[in-house]
Structure 1
């Protein structure tokens, strides 16, 4: 064993309080526990060191003696029992302190069986459901069928054959967990005989094989609220799998996916769409017709000289908000379509139009070309 100071081993100051000391010990014990470090032969020694340090410093009398004369008094047995019952570990039994830590390792004190009686809550279920954007706008009532488990009727969920009952486990005496002493430490494990239930079924129910539940399919009528968004879930309490041995049912979570739409993209309550505008209509101005997600039609006025990227807002034509019920907006982004597949006459007309254009007709193009000319002139002068 090293001569490292106990306070240094635990990473605390000499005026540490009981709560901080215990927290530091838990972190160190979890870090060096041999079960977490199977490939590190030094972990067990470090684990024992921090355990000894905590046993000393958690007891007020032992800590006072250690502060006076150091580790030697503690290791040579000169301090004896701390008096007043359990000794060490701040008045707790050592096995209780380590049970707290092992609970962190193995997921809690109750084990997989849920403690005395063995009744455990059923598992939660997930059901993926896909809808259209229109259905998300309007809301939807739907019938679904889910694979699940139900409480066994013949044994009423007990797992024991009708006319019999589960009996108390003789290994753990109904506790569901057993303790084993390994030198200085007391290890607590789930009872292997009853698997943590605390009871044993000697005569299993033939219908469920002792499980207390059976596989089944259940039909449900679900309500998809208007305004639901992609990825949101709906919780149906008590519609999950049946619990074992009479335990309560779990919950059903319906995860909603919304299909991509041909026209609209969604961002919260707002919708976005892109609308092509003929070249002439963008230049002269005019109107286009736009459908809305609610099924109506809206007329959009195109201003004279509209450019690609101009966004038009249709207030209240978006999606309903799931919380407030208020409608979002529909934003229509214009893009100017260049004419294609022109006839000879159309090309000739465009040439005449192009020759008649001036700097005021295409100001952005003229401004860009001026900047390009300035760039090349500056490069030529630099050479």
Structure 2
């Protein structure tokens, strides 16, 4: 069956199916992005925190917008040239489109790379400090991990003495990393005790792995296989026993419903015990001496004494103080703190003076004193240029919330220049 209006247009509209499909696609895009912009408007109107206006650089996005529009125009020109059998023009327009695509991806790569390496910390008092994390140092030298790489300060450091691995959920890469980190510090991670199990029905326990064997994925795989085989065997026994219990209950009470019988239908665990194999859900390893192990924050739920990785590995040991420190600070933001203070009827300036940063960091005190002076100058300039309202008291223009309670990287650079000069 031939689909109409693919080659020849409709007589009443003069359109092909492909043309109508494109317009339907564009209409759906209008609705999709209309929804996005509507959501943005409602989020901005209802935000209970300072909206991050003028925080990201606008220029790369602005350039990319025009690059994207330009590429959409040149690809249409290329299509039109192809229809007119102007091969050379088609090649030129397509190369321009490809160059626009390359430029777009380069600018996007720059934007994302910058943000991936930019960090921000919100303190308990709602103060925010932005900057870049450094690398651990001993003196003037960088500390290297077991791979020879510099260690970023955003790491969870645990002085571990024992690990307990889930035999079914352990992550091989993390197992290897733990063993390599221990080796790097001159320690070993070995099996804490003999792993004994009944692996065949009716037989005595046998040693699957001996105490002192080093931690490897092969060792964990061997224990896992024994555990899964035992779990499969035991599950089959329990299912068969439960099925038989139901049959017996039905035979003894043919008129009773399943709901009535259920409370009295149970597997006889004592009768099954001699037939069960040993399941090994976890296995413990000792560290020969306490050493520092590094974990990414996203991989571990840390706590002093006992922490847990995402694969259910339990790490026992002392949680050490974070070495994290912000280097190349490029913003200090008190907007959220000021907002919370105002909600409680507290003077925002007083709340800022009592913040942890102001009390504990000399640089913050210095630059904030400078920033207050700059804000006062801005208020004077706005008053001079725009004057007062009709009441003769209220200035027509005043510094924005962002200008009053945030110091950005441009401000820090200006402060440094003035200080050095």
TM range (shorter): under 0.3
Larger radius of gyration: 1
What TM-score do you get using the length of structure 2 for normalisation? 0.21
Structure that is richer in strand per residue: 1
What TM-score do you get using the length of structure 1 for normalisation? 0.22
Higher relative contact order (CA 8 A, sep 6+): 2
Structure that is richer in helix per residue: 2
